[in-house]
Amino acid sequence: MSRLSPPPRPAAAPLHVPDAPRSFLISGQLRRPLALTVADLRERWPQRHAAVVFDCATNGPQHHTFDGPLLRDVMDDAGPAFDARRRKDRSRYLLTVTGGDGHHTVLSWAEIDADFGDAPILLATALDGRPLDAAGSQLVVPSDRCGARYISAITGIWCGPCPASPEPLPWA
Ligand SMILES: Nc1nc2c(c(=O)[nH]1)N[C@H]1C(S)=C(S)[C@@H](COP(=O)(O)O)O[C@H]1N2
Ligand SMILES: [Mo]
């Protein structure tokens, strides 16, 4: 009995893995934690436009335009677990924003809250008119003089209350 030779293998086709849209997680003390792509940021909330200048210690002044939703609008949908009617409660909340390389920063809720700083901080969907779908969203802090909080390739945002200060020591 002749042995069947195996069928010729097709030439190895280059493996094509479509670029998975990057998503990042909004987590913490929230009513509705969210996993979002840049496309979600573009489709689910109104887009703002910002022309900004920030200084970089290594590269000097940078001029850019960004488009994207207000961080506040996105966070309102995530629903921080404070009592929204109580300003003191809101004033205790913090946000941390982390980038793909581990660079991270903090914001206070009060910075973006309309009753406090009311800063138009964005989660960018485009930088200088180019979509950020592949690179990931970037935090835009137009009121900052320097660029260190313009976290790029965002992988996560955490939101929760800050701890109270320790009781003062009796001799302090
Ligand atoms: N993920 C991430 N985002 C970052 C940084 C970084 O090191 N990692 N550097 C910040 C700094 S210091 C500046 S000035 C701005 C702009 O930096 P770039 O022009 O090198 O993008 O990005 C900010 N965002
Ligand atoms: Mo910088």
What is the H or E stretch that residue 26 is in? strand 23-28
Looking at the domain assignment, is residue 1 inside a domain? no
Q: Which atom of ligand 1 is nearest to the CA of 102?
A: 1
Looking at the domain assignment, is residue 100 inside a domain? yes
Check which CATH number belongs to the domain holding 44 and give it: 3.90.420.10
pLDDT of 18 reads 53
- Give CA–CA dist 39/61, Å, rounded: 29
Looking at the domain assignment, is residue 38 inside a domain? yes
Instruction: State the residue range of the domain holding 117.
Output: 23-161
The percent of the chain in helix, strand and coil, each rounded to the nearest 5, is 15, 35, 50
Is 62 a pocket residue for ligand 1 (Cβ < 6 Å)? Answer: yes
Global confidence as pTM: 0.89
Q: Ligand 2: distance of its center to the CA of 60 in Å?
A: 8
Q: Total domain count for the chain?
A: 1
DSSP annotation of 57 reads T
Q: Which atom of ligand 1 is nearest to the CA of 58?
A: 14
- Give CA–CA dist 80/16, Å, rounded: 40
Looking at the domain assignment, is residue 115 inside a domain? yes
In sequence order, which residues have a C-beta less than 8 Å from that of residue 32 and are 6 or more positions away?
77, 78, 79
Q: Mean pLDDT per 10-residue run, the chain (172 residues)?
A: 62 58 92 98 98 96 98 98 98 98 98 98 98 98 98 98 89 71
Which two tokens mark 79? 């629903």
pLDDT in tens, 95-137: 999 999 999 999 999 999 999 999 999 999 999 999 999 999 9
- Give CA–CA dist 154/97, Å, rounded: 7
Is 135 in contact with 129 (CB distance < 8 Å)?
A: no
DSSP annotation of 42 reads H
Among protein residues, the one with the nearest Cα to ligand 1's atom 8 is: 103
Looking at the domain assignment, is residue 81 inside a domain? yes
